[in-house]
Amino acid sequence: MSHSNSYLMTLDCPDGVGLLARITNFVASLQGNFTEVNQFTDKINDWFLARFAFEIERESTLEEIRHAFAPIAAELNASWSIRDGGKPLRTVLLVSKEDHCLADLLWRWRSGELNIEIPLVVSNHPDLRPVIEKEGIPFLHIPIPQEPAAKDIAFRQMSDAICEVSGELTVLCRYMQILPEWYCEEHHNRVINIHHSLLPAFAGADPYKRAYDRGVKLIGATCHYATGELDAGPIIHQEVLSVEHFHTPNDLRRLGRDCERLALARGVRLHVEDRVVVHNSRAIVFGD
């Protein structure tokens, strides 16, 4: 039985006449009531994308609702999901040594700002174990070797661990490893990452010092879904701050951390609330 009577539906399909009517009639047939409706028609690609929040007063299971909608979705040739809007999303965090993004997400989780539960934190270093275990969250240390075959085994171990705890979302909190393509495909649009705005112009060691030397005027961070192509997945959210002439490289690092924290937290919140609908390589975001 569902944990609440509130549900979230996302849908994308070829544009056509009467799409909204089909969906509103479906919810009405369940004696349901919409609490939020977001829709967008991509005129360039003739594509319809939407998010609906609705409540149903009568007793219905999530499986029953999904089963009833499946024939309609098939007629519309739609990609879709319906889930319990009150149920926390099981979210696994990946970390390395830096803790600013981790600390921010843990605070938002603890305060109830993010509707998630954290069944596991995985790291390629042991440094943050005390922080995690203090929160009562299981910590798994999986070193990532350099040798390709051993590295692949380590990532498969991590993927298995996420599946074992029924992880629905994986968030890279400054996890300093490149995920293999097969991993991103297996967890398609369910892995969130961030990268700073100094890429690709200032890739490599100490990008903030080299950005300072070039006199950059803006610094930011991009939150996106992870794909096999590094930092090229659909963009969920971006943050940017101005750089002043008196800012030192350490100031740039501080501003960069601020952007990373906020971009990641905002991106996770949007995903958790099913406000992101991905079509091809583009993410349509229905803001809150």
Instruction: State yes or no: pLDDT of 225 exceeds 50.
Output: yes
Instruction: State yes or no: pLDDT of 59 exceeds 70.
Output: yes
What pLDDT score was predicted for residue 49? 97
How many CB atoms are located within 10 Å of the residue 28 CB?
12
Q: Are 48 and 12 in contact (CB under 8 A)?
A: yes
Q: Which amino acid is at 144?
A: I
Instruction: State yes or no: pLDDT of 245 exceeds 50.
Output: yes
Q: What is the pLDDT of residues 12-33, one digit of tens each?
A: 999 999 999 999 999 999 999 9
Class of the CATH domain delimited by 6-84:
alpha beta
Alpha helices in the chain (DSSP H): 19-29, 62-76, 100-110, 129-134, 148-164, 181-186, 207-214, 249-272
Instruction: State yes or no: pLDDT of 2 exceeds 50.
Output: no
Backbone angles phi, psi at 89, to 5 degrees: -85, 130
- Alpha-carbon distance of 138 to 152, in angstroms, equals 23
- Give span(s): CATH 3.40.50.170, the chain: 89-285
What pLDDT score was predicted for residue 267? 98
Q: What is the mean pLDDT of residues 251-262?
A: 94
Q: Are 175 and 94 in contact (CB under 8 A)?
A: yes
12 is catalytic: no
Topology of the domain covering 89-285: Rossmann fold (3.40.50)
How many CB atoms are located within 10 Å of the residue 110 CB?
11
Percent of the chain whose pLDDT exceeds 90: 86
Instruction: State yes or no: pLDDT of 3 exceeds 50.
Output: no
**Residue 202 banded pLDDT, cuts 50, 70, 90:** confident
**Pick the catalytic residue: 231, 258, 274, 288?**
231
- The 3-state DSSP class for residue 116 equals strand
Q: Are 183 and 155 in contact (CB under 8 A)?
A: yes
